[in-house]
Amino acid sequence: MRFWNKLEKSFLRSRSGKQHAKTDIRERFDAVDEEKLSHDGEAMLSFYRQQGIRGHIRSFQIILDGAPVSKIEMEKQCNILCEPGFHKIHIKLDTMKSQILNLKAEAGVRYFFEIACTMEEGLILKQVEMERIEEE
């Protein structure tokens, strides 16, 4: 087990310079039509999947309120629109799943999440930032 932990850490370390060169999380995400988001009265969930050893050739499922809504590949991102209100979000790969995040989504707000999979912790989903879309 120690071998895999060391291998994973060196793999992530060697790749992380390229991957995390941008310190602001929003720089890692594609721009969206913020005007449309604020006028439609929806919230946007933006996911970025980090590089890792486990499950690297497989797509992870994004589960919103118990239903699969999208799949995401390594070093890719996706955006999901949802209605304002309370939501439960988690990531799944076969029988493995991340912890469930509870989110109170507000209209016109973009929420940023990072996804990873490690040998020690398995699937990881964490909210990293939110950004309110301001109307002009």
Please tell me the predicted confidence (pLDDT) of residue 99. 92
- Tell me what percent of the residues of the chain surpass a pLDDT of 70: 65
Sequence ranges of the domains in the chain: 2-132
Pairing of strands 96-97, 85-93: antiparallel
Which position has the higher pLDDT, 106 or 120?
Answer: 106
The third-level CATH classification (topology) of the domain covering 2-132 is Immunoglobulin-like (2.60.40)
Show the tokens assigned to 20.
Answer: 């995390």
pTM: 0.74
- The CA–CA distances, whole Å, from 105 to 19, 45, 80 equal 28, 9, 12
Per-residue pLDDT, averaged over 48-67, amounts to 84
Looking at the predicted structure, is the pLDDT value of residue 46 above 60?
yes
Tell me what pLDDT residue 136 has.
Answer: 43
